[in-house]
Structure formats: C-alpha cells, structure tokens
C-alpha cells in the first residue's frame, strides 16, 4: 500500500492576474522536513506517484461540480489513443467510469500513457479543489496518480 501523507487545508490566494481563488482539500506533506510538497514538483516520496493538475476542466461543465470529484475521491485514468488532438491523451474519469472530468496534462500524458500501455494499472485520488468563491462552483482540481489499488491518503494532524 502506498500511503500519501496529507493534511486537510483550506485557504485563499491571489493568482498572478489578481483574482482570488479558494482552495480546499488535502495537501501532501513530507513528515521528515515538515514541509508541504509543491504541485510544481510533481513528485512525492514514492517515485511511482505524481502530483498533477487535471487539465481541461474548463470544458467539463456540470461534471466538474459532481460530488464524485470531491477531494479524497478516487479517479480512473483511461488512455484515449483515438483522440484527434493527442494520441497519448489520458482521460480522468470518476471511479465508476461514468463521467469524464478532464485529462492528464499534455506534458505528462506521454509518460502516463506509456506506463498504462506497458501494463501498469494506474489510478488517482482528487487532492484539492479550487473555487472562485468559498461557496462557488469548482473551477479546477489537483490529483495524485499512482499504482491502482495501492494508493491511499493518510490524513495526519497539521503541526
């Protein structure tokens, strides 16, 4: 079992354009250093896992608001080799495979698609959601991906 240690967090921040965004959910932590793991670093302590944003959520409409994509919920990764824009495209679906919320980012898709084509079963867990107001609609998601059926979150108290 791969347990990603996380703390439950909620905060707001300003984007580069000055707009305020609210973020809530889980933030990965390194218990040895006491620091948060940054999404931009992509890597977590287990090298089989990656931190990624969910791309294409602006096109997901009401699907993005579905509780199946709340922080802590599992997601399925499905290659889409027939995608007209990217033969390495990998869709992000709810755990039941009924609704697609977005894609693995294009920069990461070749590696992720290659792992799946090579026989590795991968899945993910939604970590954080982003909103334009505390009670507004979701506008974006972050996730962690790794070996299917081995990935779990371990919520630890914030120090």
**Percent of residues, the chain, with pLDDT higher than 70:** 98
pLDDT tens digit string along 3-51?
Answer: 888 999 999 999 889 889 999 999 998 877 778 887 776 677 788 899 9
Lookup: tokens for 67: 């509780």
pLDDT of the residue at 68: 97
User: Model pTM greater than 0.95?
Assistant: no
pLDDT of the residue at 159: 59
CATH number of 2-155: 3.30.70.2330
pLDDT tens digit string along 45-93?
Answer: 788 899 999 999 988 889 999 999 999 999 999 999 888 889 999 999 9
**CB distance 129 to 137 below 8 Å:** no
pLDDT of the residue at 35: 83
Domain ranges of the chain: 2-155
Helix (H, G, I), strand (E, B) or coil at 109: helix
């Amino acid at each position: 079992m791969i347990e990603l240690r996380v703390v439950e967090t909620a905060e707001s921040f300003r984007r580069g354009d000055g707009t305020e965004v609210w973020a809530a959910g889980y933030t990965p932590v390194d218990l040895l250093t006491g620091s948060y793991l940054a999404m931009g670093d992509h890597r977590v302590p287990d090298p089989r896992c990656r931190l990624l944003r969910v791309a294409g959520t602006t096109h997901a409409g009401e699907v993005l608001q579905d509780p199946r994509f709340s922080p802590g919920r599992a997601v399925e990764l499905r290659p889409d080799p027939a995608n007209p824009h990217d033969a390495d495209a990998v869709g992000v679906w709810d755990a039941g495979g009924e609704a697609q919320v977005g894609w693995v980012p294009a920069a990461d898709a070749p590696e992720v698609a290659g792992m799946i084509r090579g026989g590795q079963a991968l899945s993910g867990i939604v970590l954080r959601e982003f909103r334009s107001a505390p009670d507004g609609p979701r506008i974006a998601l972050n996730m962690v991906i790794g070996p299917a059926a081995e990935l779990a979150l371990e919520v630890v108290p914030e120090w």
